[in-house]
Structure 1
Amino acid sequence: MVADGWVTEYVRVEGKSVHLKRSLGGSGVPLVHIHGFGISGAYLMPTARVLAGRWLNVVPDLPGYGRSERRDHVLDIRALAGALLAILDALNIDQAVLIGNSMGCPIGLEVAHEAPERVRRLVLVSPAGGIQNQPLPRGLGQLALDVMRESPRMVPVALPDYLRFGPINGLRLFHQLTLFPSLERLLHSPVPTLAVLGGRDPLMPSPSRVDEVVRLASEHLAVALVERAAHAVNFSHPEELAKVVEAWLDGALLAGGAQLPAGVRVIYS
């Protein structure tokens, strides 16, 4: 189905159908957007639509999410990374820029470590998981606070997905997410990486901890902040996020020549 410059299609991954949206315009290395836990790729579309003016964009629903066929069990992060590679294979995409949000960031990091030749660059928007979300009760409290900070416009987009995924599956997967070694994977990312944080995101570490991580990281990492955003930056602040990603892909962010929107600043480049 084709509508508004996007095509909706299905590919087969391990014998199951996977739903995705693909932009018809743009060129160059495709931008592949990776959604968070318990939710489909629908909330990533605002940013993908902005970026589709220049690049080919692909927004899949990972196996078991959204309109993709359900599995017998919930896939963990490593299995989801393998599924994403299979989706790239099915679309004949040899190399992509991966843009993850929340759980999509650990998935993107796992793909980059497993198959670095398949990842041109990696964008981590609100990278969840690891020590900043431990123990589980703390992580759940952060998640509840974020729900209160997100745009009300996200409710009709996200709620049907969460209900379909189920609270038990969501709890189990979120627990896995808190145990994922996000920091270690980030510090040793084998590809150039951009982290974009929301200034009002309760799932992110403190500013002092961010500074510490930046000092530990090598030159492969750039960090930007969208000051008024919470966790779902891709949905709430698509123009700001797209401008940061665009500047970084063009090399202007690292060179300090980027014209960024108000409320967006580079922490480290």
Structure 2
Amino acid sequence: MVNAAGEGRRLPRRPASNLAERWTRVDGVDVFFRESPAPVEGARVIAHIHGFGLSGRYLLPTAERLADEFQTYVPDLPGFGRSGRRPDMLDIPDLAHAAIRFLDDRGVGRATLVGNSMGCPVIIECAHRYPERVDRAVLVSPAGGAFNRPLRRAVAQLSRDAPREPARMARVAVPDYARFGVPSTMRLFRALTRYPSLQRLLELRIPTLVVLGSRDPLLPNSHRIGEIASRTDSHVLVVLLEGAAHAINFSHPDQLAHVIRLFMDDRPIENDPEWPGHVRLYEVHRGANHPRAESP
């Protein structure tokens, strides 16, 4: 909730996670975030970046599974969730700047960024504008671009996705969308779908993991994405998670945390034998310059 000055009110709430809930103030805006409950000595930093109209709450299932191994942050970017609003924070470059300023506030010089949906273009822009600040990128169900235009097409894609997500996702998403509002939705949608995500992705020179769900209606066919990624000797690793839709961070946290751990340690992508038979990971593409890429 936001007061007349555009600041987030610190309303008492029951914690939604075992991560510690915190507030800070960045560039005059109250920012709500969650972090590892205790400092992780000598650990690498991971920051989780949420999607369109949402708060960081739906990212918590995956973040919680990594918080004991990595120093973990899950912020609500300005204008989203419980954080305060700023009228100039509804463009991808502005949101990327806000994410970097949040890391500044936390004293983090360099981090791995894990995003879902709109969070992926934000991460790509962070790596484009601030390459010294991003160690690795994990792009889960990237959204935006021509495949999601016009708005009615995106709405239809979201409508097909909704029944494919766990029912409890609605309890998180609906209040977030209602709080975000229609005017903000229209403005940010235009910015998101005009952002050159593909061009910037292919220009990245950091290890990058792209995780796709086989049932995600917001994305092109995974083979098409692999074909696009293969245009360059990039550091992009593309992995398909069978049975998952768009909100993989929420619906399949064990599998996503598993593949992130492997990626962080440059280990081969392998399935966990304890998973149900219908849940499997498949490597779609591994760039020639990606760590552990095999020579032909």
TM-score category (smaller protein): over 0.9
User: For residue 232 of structure 1, what is the aligned residue in structure 2?
Assistant: 247
User: For residue 20 of structure 2, what is the aligned residue in structure 1?
Assistant: 7
- Rg comparison, structure with higher value: 2
Report the secondary structure of 1:127's partner residue: coil
Q: CA-to-partner distance for each residue in 1:194-220, whole Å, 9 max, x for gaps?
A: 000011101111234113212213230
Greater helix content: 1
Moved more, 223-232 or 63-72: 63-72
For 2:90 and 2:149, the matched residues in 1 are separated by 21
* 1:53 CA drift (Å): 2.5
User: For residue 267 of structure 1, what is the aligned residue in structure 2?
Assistant: 284
Amino acid at match of 2:215: R
1:74 and 1:169 in contact (8 A); partners too: no
User: For residue 19 of structure 1, what is the aligned residue in structure 2?
Assistant: 32
Moved more, 212-221 or 230-239: 212-221
For 1:99 and 1:59, the matched residues in 2 are separated by 10
User: For residue 104 of structure 1, what is the aligned residue in structure 2?
Assistant: 119
Moved more, 201-210 or 220-229: 201-210
User: For residue 243 of structure 1, what is the aligned residue in structure 2?
Assistant: 258
Structure 1 segments unaligned to the other structure (5+ residues): none
2:89 and 2:95 in contact (8 A); partners too: no
Q: Aligned-pair RMSD on alpha carbons?
A: 1.9
Q: For 2:216, which of 183, 201, 214 is the aligned residue?
A: 201
Amino acid at match of 1:98: L
Q: CA-to-partner distance for each residue in 1:157-179, whole Å, 9 max, x for gaps?
A: 11111111112321321232111
TM (normalized to structure 1)? 0.93
Length, aligned pairs only: 266
Q: CA-to-partner distance for each residue in 1:48-71, whole Å, 9 max, x for gaps?
A: 001112111100000011111122
Amino acid at match of 2:283: V
Identical pairs, percent? 47
2:112 and 2:135 in contact (8 A); partners too: yes
1:106 and 1:128 in contact (8 A); partners too: yes
1:48 aligns with 2:63: yes
* 1:28 CA drift (Å): 1.9
Report the secondary structure of 2:157's partner residue: helix
TM (normalized to structure 2)? 0.85
